[in-house]
Structures are given as C-alpha cells and as structure tokens.
Amino acid sequence: MSKGLAQRLRLYSELLKLEHTIFALPFVLSSILLLMKELPSPKKILLIVLSAVFARTLGMALNRLLDLPYDAQNPRTKVWPHASGLVKKPELIAIIVLSGSLFVLTCALINRLALMLSPIVILLLIFYPLAKRLTYFPHFVLGLVYFLIPLGVDVALNERISTVALLLGLAMSTWVSGFDILYSLQDYEFDKKVGLKSIPVRFGIVGAIRFARILHFLTFLSLLLLAGTFEKTPYIYLVGLLFLSMFLIYEHRLIKPHDLSKLNKAFFTVNGWISVLFFFVVLLEKLLNQ
C-alpha cells in the first residue's frame, strides 16, 4: 500500500470515527446470541455484522455532509477532515453512495423482509442530522436507529419481531439517546448561538443531565426485564447487569453541570466498556447454560 493511500484511509477513518463502531457491534453480537434459535451460519452472522457496519458508515457520512455548514463554524469541529477541507464533498458523496449500496445489498442477501425494511433505516439516518433544525429532541431519532438494530437482527435470523428484540431495542435506544444528550453538552453554547436545537438548548445543562440519567435508568430497567425472558434464572446475566449499572453510575459521576472536562472519558471510554461488558456477559450466560 502506497504511503499516500494509507494516509487517505487514515483520514477517512478519522472522518467516520470508525473506532466508535465498538459502541454498536457488541450489541449486534449480543442480539444475535439472545435471539438465535440455533447457531446461525457464519455467512448469516457476517451479513448481519456487515449490514450494521455499512449502516453506521452511511449514517456518519450523511451526518458529516449535512452538518458541514455548521461543522465549519464550530470551534470544536472545524479542524475535522470534512470541515477543514481535507475531505471534499464529492468524496463524502461517494462514501454515502457506496456504503448505502452495500447496506441495501447485504440486507437483500439476508432475506426479503430485511431488504424491504432497509429504506426505513436509510430515511432515519438522513433525518437524524436534519432533526436538530426542527426539534429539540434529535437524540431520540438516533435512539430510534439503535432501537431498530435488534429488531433487524430478529428479522434476519427469524423473520419476526419478538419481545426479546423489543426489550433489547428499548435498552439500546435509551442508552444511545442518553449518551447523545451528554455528548451534545459540549456544543451547548455554539448550538444556542446558531439556532440549532437539542435537549441542552431547551432545558439547560442541568436539565439535560437529568434527562440522560432518566434514560439510562430506563436502559437498566429494560435489561432487567429482559432477564425474565430467559428459560433458566440467568444468575451470570444479573451479576453482569449489576456491574453494567455501576459503569452507568460512574459515567454520570464524571459529568457535572459546572465541569464537563471529563465528558470525552465518559462518552468514549465508559460507553465502550458498557457495550463490551454486555456482550461478554451474554456470551458467558449462553456458554454456561447450554
């Protein structure tokens, strides 16, 4: 690989924040473990994972393109590759077309129902970056995207939508909406200045943190209710859920209305550990209760 190509790929990786895939993929894999009736074929698992990766890439690229006028002004984001001009609009459009096409293709290869539902995901991914122009609750649009992940896995594996998928979807939705609210705190002043909407802008920093805490309590409650769907008492799962709740509490202890300096640690480090921990708890529960 030439040095120029390697640098370009690193730039695209920075643009799309590929390392953030760690937030979604463990939940995708956990959904597979919890929803499968029997072990899926490697091909089916690969298609499900790829569809999630392509959907996330599409969403990030759409976000970068549609937010470009604001990202170029925002002191926090104006150094990002697309806002600084290192990645041009035609490149962003090419990434959108490619990732969108591959997402639809993988859905088609999974089954017909997955293909029929793929436009809904794409429309939500388009709407999310636009929602902050229209509503103070854009975080719930992103939450809805994540709500659809376990539903999509259920459709892919079983061509149905079960109670387990709905509870998982609710947990993922409230978890993501909550940390998206926290993430938006760092743009509070800028968003107010340019007229963008968010829960922090509408309810203030203190109110936004309370919103996030309520949502993350609902995350814990949804995962606790999920324990009732297990055939046997899931002792390992319940112990793991206790540890997960401690991570959520720790995340909120890092963020104070008068001190947002640890926001990135709460967002990137702690949330990454939460999703990975959940996957390993579900995996261990499955392995020991065969």
How buried is 87 (Cβ within 10 angstroms: 0-12 exposed, 13-18 middle, 19+ buried)? Answer: buried
Q: Which two tokens stand for residue 198?
A: 């968010």
- pLDDT, one tens digit per residue, over 65-117 is 999 999 999 999 898 888 888 888 999 999 999 999 999 999 999 999 889 98
Which parts of the chain have pLDDT scores under 70? 1-5, 19-23, 265-268, 290
Long-range interactions of 222-229: CB distance < 8 A, separation 24+ = 222/167, 222/168, 222/170, 222/171, 222/174, 223/167, 223/171, 223/278, 225/167, 226/34, 226/164, 226/167, 226/168, 226/171, 229/163, 229/164, 229/167
What pLDDT, on the 0 to 100 scale, is given for residue 168?
94
- Whether the Cβ atoms of residue 82 and residue 6 lie closer than 8 Å to each other: no
Coil, helix or strand at residue 261: coil
What pLDDT, on the 0 to 100 scale, is given for residue 252?
85
pTM, full prediction: 0.89
Domains in the chain (CATH in brackets) are: 3-288 (1.10.357.140)
- Whether the Cβ atoms of residue 191 and residue 184 lie closer than 8 Å to each other: yes
How buried is 260 (Cβ within 10 angstroms: 0-12 exposed, 13-18 middle, 19+ buried)? Answer: middle
What pLDDT, on the 0 to 100 scale, is given for residue 3?
62
One-letter identity of residue 117: L
